[in-house]
Amino acid sequence: MNKIMRAYSALKKEEKIMIRRGLLVAVSLCVILGAMAWKIGTMRGQAASAAEISDTTGPAAQGQGQTYAAIAGFRSAKFGETEDAVRAAISTDFGKSGDDVKVVENPVERTKALIVEVSDLVPETGKARVTYVLGYKSKALIQVNVLWGTPIVPDTTAVGIGRTGLVLKSYFARQNFDPKFTIRDRKLKNGVLVFQSRDAQGHLVRLVYIQAPIGKPKPASADEAAAAEKKSIYLLNLSYVANPAAPDILTIKEGDF
C-alpha cells in the first residue's frame, strides 16, 4: 500500500485527476449494473456454472417435472422482507449492526440501501461491499448487490478479481439453473458477463466482471505499457434481483407530464 501511495504522489496533477475520475466512473458503473439488472432480458445460453455464497437453492419446478434452482435472496436475507428483518439477517450473517450498516437513499428511484463491508465473503478474497436495496412502495427487500474490486481495495489486481470470479462461476455451475434462461462468459465492452440466469418466479442472478482503463493509454514502450495496464479499475459485481421486469422504484408514467 505504501508503494501505491508513493507512486500516486509522484503522478502529475492531470494523471491524479484522471485516476480520481476513473474511480468515480467505477463506482457509478457498479450502481448502473445493479440498477439496470432488471433491464437485462433473459437469453438462451449454455448450462451454467456455480460456491456457497447465497441461498439460491429450493423448489422451482419448471418444464416436464424438472426441478430447477430458485433464487430466494442472499444468505439469511430474503426477497420481500422488511428493513428490520434485513438488518437482523445482516447481524446473523456478518455480525454487523448499528453504525456498521450505512444507509443511503436514492433520490431518483426513491429506494433505500443498507450497506455493509465484509471480509473474505469468498475465502481469501479480502473486502467486499454488500448492498441491500429496499423498494420504493413496499419498503421491502427487492435487490442485493455484492461488489469486489478497486473502489473497496485500491490495490486489486486482475488476477485476484479473476480468481474470485472463477470461484463464483464454479458455484453457480453446481446449481441446477434452467439452461433456457442461462448464459455465461458473454463478452461485454469492458468486461465479461460471467453468469446470468433466472428462476421460475422471474428472480434474476447476474455476475459481471469489469476492467476499465483510467484515462486513454498512449502508445508506449513495453515498460510504459505495463505501467498503463496497472492504471485500470477491476470490478466484480454480483446481483440478485427479485423482479427485474417491474422493479419497485419511483417511475413517472408516459403522459403524466
**Residue 17 CB coordination number (10 Å):** 12
C-alpha cell at 39: 433491464
In terms of Cβ atoms closer than 10 Å to its own Cβ (0-12, 13-18, 19+), residue 208 is: buried
Contact (Cβ atoms closer than 8 angstroms) between residue 194 and residue 57: no
Q: What is the mean pLDDT of the chain?
A: 79
C-alpha 57/C-alpha 71 separation (Å) is 7
Contact (Cβ atoms closer than 8 angstroms) between residue 152 and residue 130: no
C-alpha cell at 148: 469486489
Question: How many percent of the chain have pLDDT more than 90?
Answer: 60
β-bridge partners, 105: 112
For cell 416436464, the residue is 64
C-alpha 194/C-alpha 108 separation (Å) is 29
Instruction: Check whether 130 has a pLDDT greater than 90.
Output: yes
**pLDDT level of residue 31 (50, 70, 90 thresholds):** very low
The pTM (predicted TM-score) of the whole model is 0.73
C-alpha 257/C-alpha 239 separation (Å) is 33
pLDDT of 230 reads 56
In angstroms, the Cα distances linking 133 to 18, 42, 46, 130 are 30, 22, 30, 10
Instruction: Check whether 20 has a pLDDT greater than 80.
Output: no
C-alpha cell at 1: 500500500
**pLDDT level of residue 252 (50, 70, 90 thresholds):** confident
pLDDT of 73 reads 97
- Nearest one of 82, 134, 147, 142 to 106, comparing CA atoms: 134
User: What is the Cα 21 distance to its own chain's centre?
Assistant: 20
pLDDT of 225 reads 55
Contact (Cβ atoms closer than 8 angstroms) between residue 40 and residue 206: yes
User: Any idea what the Cα angle at residue 133 is, between residues 127 and 138, rounded to 5°?
Assistant: 160
Question: How many percent of the chain have pLDDT more than 70?
Answer: 68
Q: What is the mean pLDDT of residues 183-187?
A: 94
Contact (Cβ atoms closer than 8 angstroms) between residue 168 and residue 53: yes
Instruction: Check whether 97 has a pLDDT greater than 60.
Output: yes
- Nearest one of 196, 162, 191 to 178, comparing CA atoms: 196
Residue range 37-95, pLDDT digits in tens: 333 333 333 233 333 344 444 444 445 567 899 999 999 999 999 999 999 999 999 99
Compute the CA torsion angle 69, 75, 78, 84 (nearest 10 deg).
180
Residue range 136-170, pLDDT digits in tens: 999 999 999 999 999 999 999 999 999 999 999 99
Query: Measured in Å, how far apart are the chain's first and last C-alpha atoms?
Result: 52
